[in-house]
Amino acid sequence: MEELLRRSEKLTTVGQLAAGVAHEIRNPLTTLRGFLQIQQQTGTLNVKHVDLMLSELDRINLIVGEFLILAKPQAVQFQRTDIRCILEDVISLLDSQAHLCGVEFHIQVTNQPTAVFCAENQLKQVFINLLKNAIEAMPNGGRISIELCLYEENVKIVIKDEGTGMSPEVMAKLGEPFFTKKDAGTGLGLMVSQRIIQSHKGLLDMESIEGEGTTVTILLPWAACAKDAGTAGEAGGGLQNG
């Protein structure tokens, strides 16, 4: 956990992010330029070229989209919201994707209210990122267990998968922007999630055993004891905290 935190603090300064984005976007742009040159010189582009151009454009869009979440901290409204509702929304959103992959969700919740002061959409984004990673780590299906409870003065969310897990080498790189082991990955999901949880004055911890699975633990200040935690702007998230 400390490793993940330290890395994200070290690497997510505005300048490094900007350099990373520029680099990641330049590759698909170079491809696009190349194809347009072919079109200019030969007057023809085949279907394959056009497909590639579209997928390169999609990639740029994906990268820019992930950054937009980080780029608009000021407008964020923090409201008292029960994490249980957020989790249930996200699970129903991902249910069909999970089902297709042979993955089933198993949810265990406490009866106590688990409200936090939060930007609901940002936390949704975090759970989407984490649950997608869990699904993607289980190509042959399996179970994702999600536990929601109170822990000291926090709401605790534990997401556990039975997926591929990660080696210590991979763990050491988590939270680094653009670090991905996936063909169609952006390597931004964890970094964005980490930033959002930090901006909510929470903690995000990952543990993993290669070949066995991964456990993500999130702590967020419980709204019942956080007096005015996270009024808009003050804890509004984004790059200024880095």
> Could you tell me whether strands 142-151 and 103-109 are parallel, antiparallel, or unpaired per DSSP bridges?
parallel
CA nearest neighbour of 150 among 222, 86, 201:
222
Q: 186 near 62, Cβ under 8 Å?
A: yes
Q: Please say which residue, 103 or 190, places its beta carbon nearer to ligand ADP.
A: 190
Least distance to ligand ADP, CB of residue 112, Å:
27
Q: Which listed range, 40-48, 74-82, 188-196, 227-235, lies at the site for ligand ADP (CB under 6 A)?
A: 188-196
Name residues contacting ligand ADP, limited to 203-222 (CB under 6 A).
Answer: 214
Least distance to ligand ADP, CB of residue 51, Å:
21
Measure the CA–CA gap between 16 and 10, rounded to whole angstroms: 9
Torsion of CA 126, 90, 132, 120, to 10 degrees: -10
Least distance to Mg ion, CB of residue 3, Å:
18
Q: 204 near 193, Cβ under 8 Å?
A: yes
Residue 60's identity, in one-letter code, is I
Q: 215 near 159, Cβ under 8 Å?
A: yes
Give the Cβ contact number of residue 201 at 10 Å.
17
Is residue 214 a contact residue for Mg ion (CB under 5 A)? no
Give the Cβ contact number of residue 234 at 10 Å.
11
Is residue 20 a contact residue for ligand ADP (CB under 6 A)? no
Q: Which listed range, 38-46, 66-74, 107-115, 185-193, lies at the site for Mg ion (CB under 5 A)?
A: 185-193
Query: What tokens were used for 75?
Result: 């407008």
Torsion of CA 122, 199, 127, 215, to 10 degrees: 170
Q: Please say which residue, 56 or 161, places its beta carbon nearer to ligand ADP.
A: 161
Is residue 125 a contact residue for ligand ADP (CB under 6 A)? no
User: What DSSP character marks residue 148?
Assistant: E
Q: Please say which residue, 35 or 178, places its beta carbon nearer to Mg ion.
A: 178
User: What DSSP character marks residue 82?
Assistant: E
Q: Which does 118 bind (CB under 5 to 8 A by kind): ligand ADP, Mg ion, none?
A: none
Q: Choose, by CB under 6 A, the member of 12, 122, 125, 164 that binds ligand ADP.
A: 164
Measure the CA–CA gap between 223 and 135, rounded to whole angstroms: 30
Q: Choose, by CB under 6 A, the member of 114, 122, 186, 199 that binds ligand ADP.
A: 186
Q: Choose, by CB under 6 A, the member of 122, 133, 194, 198 that binds ligand ADP.
A: 133
Least distance to ligand ADP, CB of residue 86, Å:
19
Q: Which listed range, 17-25, 89-97, 131-139, 231-239, lies at the site for ligand ADP (CB under 6 A)?
A: 131-139
Contact residues for Mg ion, defined by CB under 5 A: 133, 189
Contact residues for ligand ADP, defined by CB under 6 A: 129, 133-134, 137, 161, 163-166, 170, 174, 179-182, 185-190, 214
